[in-house]
Amino acid sequence: MANTTTFGGNGRVDYPPRHTDSGARNINSRDGHIAPGEIAIGVVIGRASEYFDFFVYAIASVLVFPSIFFPFDGRLEGTLYAFAIFAFAFIARPFGTLAFMYIQQRFNRETKLTLALVLLGASTAGIAFLPTYATLGPLSILLLSVLRVGQGVALGGSWDGLPSLLALNAPPNKRGWYAMLGQLGAPVGFILAAGLFSFLLSTLDNTDFLDWGWRYPFYVAFAINVVALFARLRLVSTTEYSRLLDERELEPTNVIEMSHSQGRNILIGALAALASYALFHLVTVFPLSWINLYSSRSIADFLQLQMGGAVLAAVGIVLSGLIADRFGRRSTLGALAVLIGVFSGFVPMLMDGGALGQNVFILTGFCLLGLSYGQAAGAVTANFEAKYRYTGAALTSDLAWLVGAGFAPLVALGLSAHFGLAYVSLYLLSGAVGSLAALSLNRALEIRD
């Protein structure tokens, strides 16, 4: 007899018992009951640890790597080189997704997640211990590149399907709310990373910071990854999670077959939130590099300003859930793309407007980022046929990051340094136009059961 899944009056997911041969999954069994809020916990834990790791590397690419890995060139050129290597992870991420999907098919979900997070931790720890250019010469740059690729492959492999599961199993009238919960990992990760670097810059002199201080955040990132590994394994290895993932057919599938069948959905999913992903780096990494190169402002103080902006982004993410449930996710993403397009026209005036203008740019940008990014993940999950949702959602996320954010710091800094800040406006505007074009092609962005 076919299994059915229903929502009880308390919003919890109830489904009939089913036998399993996995002893590990039985350890945490709670009689087959699981609430969307419990899925959200797993999503938030996983994303917060990943974003902390992500922002530690991003901030170091601005403040550290140009000096210790590219001392043979100017500060601008060194930063551009660092941003080029920064993009390697986004290029590698889809390949990591495909490789680890095969591992999951060959073994199981727990093995895949364990190997991915071990690789992520090893790559991060490797950067912490990496000798500088003064010691190894060009070999240090090569090793940095390899470790950055390792981070990207690991991030692709760490896809656990929980965001899709959360979106598909949230109560119908609260899907915008549950969709935004995992996105809170971004401001949390940024606040922790920026706060740690700000503290180190405020307490260490420049020599000590560049000698050993910058390595400490990478040690912390490694420790957080270890904690997150066990927390996420506890969630995904339970009987109820496995059953619910199976019932939603959230399992790896043939990529070639999926590309032929679902190529349109992958393309729309990658472009639908393009404005949000482009803005993501233009209010975090790019302005930090601009201030570091062309302003006398204290970097520690500027990081604290950005931390305040991240708090506003967190508030915006929460509000996005309420707005999306009231007006729909498609309408929310479209309206925010328009607002981001309008905001793009003010980039030159604000970034060249001294401390006040820069403060307005950061705080306003983070507010828009929170409102848009809160609904950016998994917007087209329901468009995929059931058997393609797991792999389709993962690749859509990978491509969205690659197209929208992977090269944003490199492009924005290169264009602004050589041609002026007006070109940053055009870059951000192109992201808004891309989002609106994708949204106009898709009429089924609302997550369906």
Q: What is the pLDDT of residues 328-352, one digit of tens each?
A: 888 888 999 999 999 999 999 999 9
Q: What is the pLDDT of residue 382?
A: 63
Alpha-helical segments (H) within 328-388: 329-344, 347-351, 354-373
Q: What is the pLDDT of residue 202?
A: 95
Q: What is the pLDDT of residue 328?
A: 82
Residue with more model confidence, 379 or 291: 291
Q: E strands within 131-208?
A: none
d(Cα 65, Cα 84) in Å, to the nearest integer? 12
Q: What is the pLDDT of residue 448?
A: 44
What are the chain's domains?
37-447 (1.20.1250.20)
Span 159-184, mean pLDDT? 74
Residue with more model confidence, 438 or 140: 140
**Position 89 pLDDT exceeds 60:** yes
**Position 444 pLDDT exceeds 70:** no
Helix (H, G, I), strand (E, B) or coil at 129: coil
d(Cα 42, Cα 50) in Å, to the nearest integer? 12
Span 259-263, mean pLDDT? 81
Confidence of residue 145 (pLDDT cuts 50, 70, 90): very high
Q: What is the pLDDT of residue 6?
A: 41
Q: Percentage helix, strand, coil, to 5, in the chain?
A: 80, 0, 20
Q: Is there a contact between 333 and 445 (Cβ–Cβ < 8 Å)? A: yes
Give phi and psi for 421, each to the nearest 5: -65, -20
Q: What is the pLDDT of residue 152?
A: 95
Structure tokens at 385: 């046929």
Q: Poorest-confidence range of 21-35, 65-79, 105-119, 358-372?
A: 21-35
Q: What is the pLDDT of residue 261?
A: 81
**Position 26 pLDDT exceeds 60:** no
Cβ count within 10 A of residue 145: 14
* Matching residue, tokens 């092609």: 441
Question: Highest mean pLDDT: which of 25-39, 226-240, 275-289?
Answer: 275-289
Confidence of residue 404 (pLDDT cuts 50, 70, 90): confident
Q: What is the pLDDT of residue 380?
A: 61
Confidence of residue 121 (pLDDT cuts 50, 70, 90): confident
Query: Bridge partners of 33?
Result: 14
**Position 427 pLDDT exceeds 90:** yes
Strand order across the beta sheet in which 13-14 lies: 6-7, 13-14, 33-34
**Position 321 pLDDT exceeds 50:** yes
Q: Poorest-confidence range of 117-121, 250-254, 343-347?
A: 250-254
Q: What is the pLDDT of residue 447?
A: 45
Confidence of residue 28 (pLDDT cuts 50, 70, 90): very low
**Position 15 pLDDT exceeds 60:** no
Confidence of residue 35 (pLDDT cuts 50, 70, 90): low
Candidates 120, 80, 85; CA nearest to 218 is 120
Helix (H, G, I), strand (E, B) or coil at 248: coil
Q: Summarize pLDDT for 206-245 with one digit per residue, the tens.
A: 999 999 999 999 999 988 888 877 777 777 666 766 776 6
What one-letter code names the amino acid at 299? I
What value does the mean pLDDT of the chain take? 84
Confidence of residue 119 (pLDDT cuts 50, 70, 90): very high
**Position 372 pLDDT exceeds 50:** yes
d(Cα 303, Cα 198) in Å, to the nearest integer? 6
